[in-house]
Structure 1
Amino acid sequence: MKTEKLRTDPQKRLYSLDALRGFDMFWITGGGGLAILLSNMTGAEWLGIQMYHVDWEGFQFMDLVFPLFMFISGVAIPFSVLSKLENSIPKSKLIWKTFRRFVLLVILGLLYNGVFRDGFENARIASVLGQIGTAYFLASIIAIYFQSLRSRIIWLVAILVGIGIIQLLVPIPGIGAGVLTPEGSINGYIDGLLLPGKFYGGTFDPEGILCSISATGITLMGTLAGSILKDSKRGDWQKIGLLSISGVTSILLALALSSFYPIIKSCWTSTFNLLTGGISLLLLALFYLLIDHWGLKKWAFYFRVIGMNSIFIYLFQSIVNVPRVTDSFIGWLEKPMGQFWDLFWNISYLAVIWLLLYYMYKKKIFIRV
């Protein structure tokens, strides 16, 4: 991980991509908690429910946050990796760079899990950052060696079909095939065979081996979207149309297949890839339309500041006691605020995080992995 000044003029970057990344991170940097509080205050139960993950099968808004981030990391690959091929940088050098990123993200994932604090004995090895690193690395290799959209679509179909075959048709000793439960899924069986340490889900890990390989699918969907946006031969409306049609098609396919192949985040089924990938495509199309095509940037500045230091703030919240920092500034206002204290505190918490990121933004301090 390194700190650097942005080499690309911020105005020439894909503003919508930074904003969408920040919108995504907003929900895990305090936005979700604020939504739950507003739900309790207003009686809008539907809003509060969406801020939690489903127990197993199904889908709620919070289940989108992680795959959307992986999709966005894929969108960046044509701009950050494939563009270097156009400048005659050897493929081997690019693969080595993405491999180092993979290793670093795995290490940072161990840091987030507290492995270096609590010790390696019975530690949790799988992590959100490790899954991001794995999927990014695999998607990058595919994108480097198969640069045409058609060839990457073939790879995407192969991954989704392959994961589907493994999860539905490969039998587990003593259980059978296609048992998509926490105790019976092949994800947990493979993790038990190959993944050391403890699992977040007890009998399985939602960021385990098969989940990480499956998540390459949505990251690869991101590379396709990135290549569409990067194509100077396409007009903005053509790009927006392609993203939107692809998104709707992916969602409808996921819903159609879900009748026999459930949408399950915890074992990252292919239908989950298709559903979240489709929603991600529609969100990217919307942000691109509003921000990069129509030039409506001011409303998205708040999110962009978050999006340009996303990995940093994710780790920062796990290491630094941000609630205590917040209390240090506003704790004296608890009694005067009365019944509005919880709302004021949540907004202040978001402000503390954002002001830190805004300071880094103004100083052009961007933590890169």
Structure 2
Amino acid sequence: MSNTVTNERLISLDVLRGFVMFWIMSGEHIFHALAKAAPIPVFVWMSSQLHHTDWNGITFYDMIFPIFLFVAGVSMPYSFEKKMNSAGVKTPMELPSKEKQKIYLSMLKRTCILLFLGCVVNGVLRFDGYDQTRFASVLGRIGLAWFFAGLIYLNFDLRKQLYWFIGILFGYYLVLKLVPVPNFGAGILTPDGSFSSYIDQQFLPGRLHSKVYDPEGLFSTIPAIATALLGMFLGTFLKGKNIFSANEKILIMLASALILIGIGALWHYDFPINKRLWTSSFVCFVGGFSILFFTFFYLIIDVLGFRKWAFPLLLIGSNSILIYMASEGLVNFKHTADFVFGGAISFLPLIWQPVFAAVSVTFIQLVLLYFLYKRKWFLKI
């Protein structure tokens, strides 16, 4: 194993982003179909992991969104490093005020674009009326959490960033456990009785995703900032110059992942792991698994140099926002795949037709992404 990794772009970040996006864009349908066509235990288990939990608890599908946000956090120190180099400073806090103002405006612009695109995915352009429009969104939460994590990164040193991380997790825990909700009381972590749900009901405009709460609501976006900060910590660690070898970095990441998973699992008994409330235990538990997934791809791709196998994931990760929006309803890939492959698939045994139909959708999506990749057309925000 190599003891050094070049300072070029971390290919593993794009691959990990592509890995988690694959399941959203069409991968889940392949394994749901496989579980029905060949109900062997591994396929059935994988299919069961590609559904959200009803409330408390966790599946792999619950991890996809926070892993994506975590990856955005990892990218942050690398993107800001270019601005620091051009300004001739070593830390973000040393940036001149005029340079920081430019960065703030750029960050605000990116956040506003993501908020708008999130509304587009939710169907705002259908103009169904204010009351029927859902303003909270996955892309909106990514934009907001990334923005506030970026403010913390630009204005505080690493020690104070850690204080922010711990303060957010414990502050959120204390509010949800101790602040009473009208007609329910304090510490009621149910869909309609939690403090986070109460804030959504009172202050989130438009339609809530689940009537009494929204999984991308206002108050539960605060702990999502901690998820972005976790990624930022990892990015800062990886960017460190000549402090640890690649082997040592991998061991430290593995140890950190196991510690976070342990903290999340223990905290679960008092503050349940819950994706919809984005509980502090959820942040720790999924943060640990995020580091584990990243470590795997980092070892295989950036350290050992085995990259060719991951090219399809790289295609997805390089244009992840575009394929996410397209897959959420802006493009009918199923219609195109059926037009191209439907005739051939109809000759297969009936039980296997849904499997190959789902695979054909993935193929059409990858063809589009390959076309965009070769022409260097990327939706960058």
Band of TM-score, shorter chain = over 0.9
What's the CA shift for 1:253?
0.3
2:164 aligned partner: 155
Q: Which residue of 1 aligns with 2:293?
A: 283
Are 2:173 and 1:173 aligned? no
Pair 1:94–1:120, CA change in 2 (3 A)? farther
**What corresponds to 1:337 in structure 2?**
348
How far the C-alpha of 1:149 sits from its partner, in A, is 2.9
| Matching residue of 1:360 | 372
Code of the aligned partner of 1:332: G
Partner residue in 2 for 1:71? 70
TM-score w.r.t. structure 1 length? 0.94
**Match 2:325 to one of 310, 315, 319:** 315
Aligned to 2:91: none
Counterpart secondary structure, 1:204:
coil
Which residue of the partner structure matches residue 26 of structure 1?
22
How far residue 239 of structure 1 moved from its aligned partner, in angstroms, is 1.8
For the 8 Å contact 2:316–2:369, the answer to whether it is kept is yes
Counterparts in 2 of 1:7-18, with a 5 A limit? 12-18=8-14
Instruction: Tell me the secondary structure at the aligned position of residue 346 of structure 2.
Output: helix
Q: Deviations over 1:20-52 (max 9, x none)?
A: 000010000111111111222222322211010
Shift of 1:150: 2.3
State the partner residue of 2:198. Answer: 189
Aligned to 2:4: none
Partner of 2:90: none
Counterpart of 2:49 in structure 1: which amino acid?
A: Q
TM-aligned CA deviation for residue 232 of structure 1? 2.0
Aligned to 2:50: 51
Q: Which amino acid aligns with 2:20?
A: D
Query: Within 2, Cα distance between the matches of 1:331 and 1:24?
Result: 27
Report the TM-score when normalising by structure 2. Answer: 0.91
Partner SS state of residue 366, structure 1:
coil
Contact 1:82 1:144 in 2 (8 A): no
Letter of the 2:29 partner, please give it. Answer: G
Partners of 1:130 and 1:120 in 2: how far apart?
20
- Give the AA of the match of 1:144: L
Secondary structure of the structure 2 residue equivalent to 1:189: helix
Aligned to 1:101: 110
CA deviations 1:262-299 (Å, max 9, x no partner) are: 00111111111111111001111111111101111111
Aligned pair count reads 359
Partner secondary structure for residue 197 of structure 2: helix
Preserved CA contact (<8 Å) 1:82 1:143: no
What is the match of residue 40 of structure 1? 36
The CA distance in 1 between the partners of 2:294 and 2:252, in whole Å, is: 11
Displacement, 1:235?
A: 1.7
Alpha-carbon offset, residue 118 of structure 1: 3.0
**Where do 1:175-324 residues align within 5 Å?**
175-233=184-242, 234-317=244-327, 318-324=329-335
- Cα distance in 2 for partners of 1:106, 1:327 equals 33
1:62-94, Cα deviation, whole Å (9 max, x unpaired): 001000000000000001124412321611211
Distance in structure 1 (CA, Å) of the matches to 2:252 and 2:285: 17
Name the SS for the 1:131 alignment partner. helix
Quick one: which amino acid aligns to residue 107 of structure 1? F
Residue 108 of structure 1: how far off its partner (Å): 0.5
- Cα separation, 1, equivalents of 2:46 and 2:298: 26
SS at match of 1:367: coil
- Following TM superposition, the consecutive aligned residue runs of length 4 or more in structure 1 with deviations greater than 4 angstroms are none
Structure 1 unaligned segments of length 5 or more: list them: 1-10
Output aligned runs, 1:343-354, within 5 Å.
Answer: 343-354=355-366
Q: Matches of 2:129 and 2:33 in 1, distance apart?
A: 37
Whether contact under 8 Å (2:111, 2:143) holds in the other structure is: yes
CA RMSD between the two structures: 1.5
| Residue pair 1:134, 1:213 contacting (<8 A) in 2 also | no
Q: Check the 8 A contact 1:85/1:91 in 2, yes or no.
A: no
SS in 2 for 1:246: helix
Say whether the 8 Å CA contact 2:37–2:355 is kept in structure 1.
no
